[in-house]
Every structure is written in structure tokens, then in C-alpha cells.
Amino acid sequence: MKCLKLIFILFLVITGPLLSAAAFAGDLPDNTPVPGGIAVIELPASDAVPRVSYNGKPVMVSGSGPVYSAVVGLALATKPGTHTLKIEYAGGKSATLNFMVAEKTYRSQHITLKNKRMVNPEKRDMERIGREQRRIKKALATWNERIPDTLRFSLPVEGPVSSPFGLKRFFNEQARKPHSGLDLAAAEGTPITAPAGGRIVDTGNFFFNGNTVFIDHGQGLVTMYCHMSRIDVKPGQIVRSGDVIGAVGKTGRVTGPHLHWGVSLNDARVDPMLFLDQLPATENERP
């Protein structure tokens, strides 16, 4: 009996990662190979999990032998056309696989801000912004081998979409970077919950983003929550789906209380809507 128990434990240790990978294989985001989208690419058959990279960065791999898929985040700046994955197999063999990215056009949004420093920061602000940008980039580029609990998220806060992902933005008629997340309208103080399990990578107060939390879900999937009124978690803390991480606020560059929710996949900001089973209404669709 002890021998059988030991064999069973060894089986779980050896096959655990593969079983976990297969667990979300049927819940992959839709294949949307456009700038700001996700390319789901079936890989050549392999008995072991291959390592995949895109533009020099590791990529999430889902499935179980011999069928695996690469789940690739495509930044808004991605050029339409042919792109290449690098695949490394056990034993040192490697290969490349091409895939196509289609064109997508996003709408424009014009926002008027009374605080002109949020449009044209002063020199003292730029020094702070530079430090913060390096910190934000490091958090969003987080990679570990942990298999995500799921690739189907719940909404972190109940509320309509006030600004969709990808908008070409103009602040006080000056062009700025496109909107790299999803804005959800909600009253100040509304609880914000983790849409899936993960580990808190970093938290802090930032010039543009205000009070912010970053959650690492594994395999290059990182979510970001901005403009919070308060933060209820600390770096290194493990959270489960539904745990409260803070509350909606209006800190940073805002015109009113809302949650800016960002999703990063292999260090590319992608549309959070692609991870939702049920899409939220837009503000003009509210009853």
C-alpha cells in the first residue's frame, strides 16, 4: 500500500504541470491576431512542452502533449504582416513558425484636463515619471513558469465601459499614447476584486496612474489596476479570484472616479475584453 501511495505521489509531481496546462487549454482567448489582440497558434506536435519566444520574449504555451498552442500578446504598435515565433524543443532542437497579423483601426478620444501638469508635466515631474516608467515596465514584463488558474477572467469591478481599449488619445488636443487598458465606470470606494488568482508583483502611487496594483498570474500574464482610492494588498501577497485588492478612486490623471484595468501578455498590452466570458455594457447602453 505504501508503495502504491508513493507511486501516486510521484505521478502527481511529474504530471502536475501538464495537467495544469491542460486545465485551461479549452478556455483560450479567441484568436484575434491584430494589434492589441492575441494570436493563438497551434504548434508542431511535441511530446514535451516546447519553449516559445516572440521578439526575444518568452510566450505562454498551453495544452498537453502532443498538442500545444502558443498564446501570443500583440502590442498596439505591432505592424500588420508576417511575424515569427521561435520554438525550442527538448534536446536542443529549434524551429521557427510564421503567423500573420491583420490590420485594425481604433477610434479617437479627445479629453480635456484642467490640471495642465497632467498634459505637459514640469521638469520635477519628468524625473519622477522616468523612475516610475522603469518600475511599471519591470512589473508588466514579469515572467514565471506558474500556470495561470484560468484564462477566463471575471470583471474586477461591476460597471459599464467608459473608455474602451486602443483609443487614439488626445489630451487638451495634444496627441498622446493610445489607451492601453479598459476603463470601467464605478463610484469612488467601490471594491475592486482580483479577476483570477495570482501574486502581487508591485503596488504604489504613480504620477499618471495614481494608486496602482500589479498582479502576476503566471506565464507572462500580468494585470494592472489604476486610479485606486486605496490599496488593500502588498507585494508578494497571494490572492485568489474574488479577493478584494482595493477600491475605485480618482487618483492620477483622471476626469472622475473609475478603474483603469490593463492586461499584459508577454509584455504586450492587450484588450482585457478578450479574457471575458460576459462583456460589460458601455455607458450609453446603461438603462
- Domain harbouring 43, CATH code: 2.60.40.1590
C-alpha cell at 197: 488568482
pLDDT mean over 36-57: 96
**Predicted pLDDT at 114:** 83
Is the model's pLDDT at 18 over the cut of 90? no
pLDDT mean over 19-47: 81
Determine the 3-state secondary structure of 6 from DSSP: helix
Backbone angles phi, psi at 23, to 5 degrees: -65, -35
pLDDT mean over 74-96: 95
Domain boundary (101, 119, 147) is at 101
Same domain, 71 and 137: no
Domain boundary (58, 82, 101) is at 101
pLDDT mean over 207-225: 98
C-alpha cell at 34: 491584430
Is the model's pLDDT at 285 over the cut of 70? no
Q: How far is CA 235 from CA 62, 191, 201, in A?
A: 27, 19, 5
Same domain, 89 and 186: no
User: Is residue 76 in a domain?
Assistant: yes
Same domain, 141 and 257: yes
pTM: 0.87
Q: What is the CATH number of the domain that holds 256?
A: 2.70.70.10
Q: What is the DSSP letter of 187?
A: -
**Predicted pLDDT at 277:** 79
pLDDT mean over 84-108: 95
**Number of folded domains in the chain?**
2
> Which residue(s) pair with 203 in the sheet?
213
**Predicted pLDDT at 217:** 98
**Predicted pLDDT at 225:** 98
pLDDT-based confidence at residue 17 (cuts at 50, 70, 90)? very low
Angle at 158 between CA 209 and CA 271, to 5 degrees: 55
> In terms of residues, how long is the chain?
287
Q: What H or E segment, with its residue span, contains residue 160?
A: none
Is the model's pLDDT at 5 over the cut of 50? no
Domain range spanning residue 181?
108-285
Same domain, 80 and 96: yes
pLDDT-based confidence at residue 283 (cuts at 50, 70, 90)? low
% of the chain beyond a pLDDT of 90: 74
Same domain, 115 and 84: no
Which pLDDT tens digit goes with each residue over 254-271? Answer: 999 999 999 999 999 999
**Predicted pLDDT at 287:** 30
Pair 151, 24: CB distance under 8 Å? yes
One-letter amino acid at 276 equals L
Pair 195, 128: CB distance under 8 Å? no
Same domain, 130 and 237: yes
DSSP 48-96: SPPEEEETTEEEEEEEETTEEEEEEE--TTPPSEEEEEEEE-TTS-EEE
User: Is residue 243 in a domain?
Assistant: yes
Same domain, 80 and 140: no
Same domain, 144 and 267: yes
User: Is residue 1 in a domain?
Assistant: no
Angle at 35 between CA 33 and CA 41, to 5 degrees: 25
Same domain, 119 and 214: yes
User: Is residue 61 in a domain?
Assistant: yes
Which pLDDT tens digit goes with each residue over 100-151? Answer: 999 999 998 889 888 888 888 988 899 999 999 999 999 999 999 999 999 9
User: Is residue 137 in a domain?
Assistant: yes
Domain boundary (39, 70, 101) is at 101
Same domain, 75 and 189: no
Same domain, 74 and 159: no
Same domain, 159 and 78: no
**Predicted pLDDT at 119:** 83
User: Is residue 7 in a domain?
Assistant: no
| Spatial CA neighbour of 248 closest among 164, 176, 181, 191 | 191
End-to-end CA gap in the chain: 63
> Which residue(s) pair with 42 in the sheet?
69
User: Is residue 2 in a domain?
Assistant: no
